[in-house]
Amino acid sequence: MFTEKQKRQLLQIARETLEYYLSGKQVPEIQISDPVLKEKRGAFVTLHNRGNLRGCIGMITSQNPLYITIRNMAIESATADPRFYPVTKEELKHIDIEISVLTVPHRVGSPDEIVLGRDGVIVKSGLSQGVFLPQVADETGWTKEEFLSILCFQKAGLTLDAWKKPQTELYIFQAEVFSEKKL
């Protein structure tokens, strides 16, 4: 979906945003001319410190242009992921930024339609919802049953077998994933 130049530009936006924000400076306005980076797209920004997850927050869909979503999610990942204390300015030199730009999710009728490693999954039941990005399956090595059970339990606060129940909705999406480390 994205050229190397576009990937580098999005990663640079995330990196510079964090440098300014974590230094207590106002994040500068960004001037973008590339129409692809102005599309309204969902995205996640994931931070790793020496290979360990340090923060991951995103939006499945966004009303903002992609470059603004990346800027906002970089800040959120560094400061608002409830699993971690906020990233410090000193720590930033050890942070590798990964971006996942999402396709529009669509509902599937059966877990059989989910392809681990290709599809991210959203589980919804009542007011509860959870999401795993496509790369979670590759990173964990879980089976599909483990993937869906842990998604329900850890991310959505549902029972482990909620994904098997007829009232539970499953949605899939794909993501283009790129990082500073891999570029």
**Tens-of-pLDDT digits for all 183 residues of the chain?**
899 999 999 999 999 999 999 999 999 899 999 999 999 999 999 999 999 999 999 999 999 999 999 999 999 999 999 999 999 999 999 999 999 999 999 999 999 999 999 999 999 999 999 999 999 999 999 999 999 999 999 999 999 999 999 999 999 999 999 999 998
pLDDT at 146: 97
For residue 66, the enclosing domain spans: 4-102
Q: How many domains is the chain built from?
A: 2
Instruction: Find the CATH number of the domain harbouring 164.
Output: 3.30.1490.150
pLDDT at 1: 83
Q: Is residue 74 part of a domain?
A: yes
Tokens 């129940």, located at residue: 165
pLDDT at 63: 96
Query: Does residue 91 sit in the same domain as residue 34?
Result: yes
Query: Does residue 12 sit in the same domain as residue 58?
Result: yes
d(CA 182, CA 162): 36
pLDDT at 138: 92
The CA-based angle 69-71-74, given to 5 degrees, is: 100
Query: Does residue 82 sit in the same domain as residue 141?
Result: no
pLDDT at 46: 97
Q: How far is CA 64 from CA 19, 41, 47, 67, 68, in A?
A: 22, 7, 21, 8, 6
Q: Is residue 180 part of a domain?
A: no
Query: Does residue 62 sit in the same domain as residue 128?
Result: no
